[in-house]
Amino acid sequence: MKNVIEEMEKRANIVEKERMKVIGMSTLLEKEINNRESKKRELQNEIEILQRELSKLSFEYESLSKLEQEQQEVLDGLNGNK
């Protein structure tokens, strides 16, 4: 009977150690998931900022191209009058 109790205690200790390992791994996994979600949000915010900047720069480029074309037309007109 003593051997059975000792064996049961031994197995209970093994089970408890494994349970603690699983809890630790679960905690690490949860932290990793949270870290990745946080990083994803940061990257999405950065993408939005860069997209707004790209839109702004594209608009400025179009405006400057139009202005350059108008100025070139004025210069061509002035050169044609000579």
CB atoms within 10 A of CB 13: 10
In the numeric block, which tokens belong to residue 70? 């108008």
Q: Rounded to two decimals, what is the model's pTM?
A: 0.64
What single DSSP character describes residue 82? -
pLDDT tens, residue by residue, 8-29: 999 999 999 999 999 999 999 9
Residue 20 belongs to what H/E stretch?
helix 2-80
Opening angle at CA 56, ends 54 and 61, nearest 5: 90
Largest separation between any pair of C-alpha atoms in the chain = 120
pLDDT tens, residue by residue, 49-81: 999 999 999 999 999 999 999 999 999 999 886
